[in-house]
Amino acid sequence: MNPKPFEETERTWAVVAHLAPLVGYFLLIGQILLPLAILLWGPKSAFVQAHAKESLNGQVSYTLYGLALLLLALTVVGLVVAVPLGLFLLFLMLWNMVQGALAAGRGEVYRYALILRLL
């Protein structure tokens, strides 16, 4: 499935679905709420919906991974492991968000790496 949007607004909404979580991180759980809002109330085109679902799945996954790393960091041995894994998670999250936004701008579908596909 590789939907090709014909309207610039569809590509813009898809790009926003990937980049909105950056703003959402300042609102604590906003990184999940913003892609969810686009999924529920944004344009109903298959292209925008696919990108919003991918972004939402990614943000839910990253939040769960981050919570697991936080719990791991509570132990002394876990702290040694959690810090490098946390840096890797941050890099992976930013990489997937930027690549998803770039693909959406080109009218392509992008699949995030290492996430749970819940939707």
- Gyration radius of the chain's alpha carbons: 15
Mean pLDDT of the chain: 91
Calpha distance 58→52 (Å, rounded): 10
Structure pTM?
A: 0.88
Q: What is the pLDDT of residue 5?
A: 45
CA distance 46 to 4: 9
Query: How much of the chain exceeds pLDDT 90, in percent?
Result: 76
3-state helix, strand, coil in the chain (%, to 5): 75, 0, 25
Residue 28 backbone zone (phi > 0: left; psi -120 to 50: alpha; other: beta)? left
pLDDT in tens, 35-80: 999 999 999 999 999 999 999 999 999 999 999 999 998 887 788 8
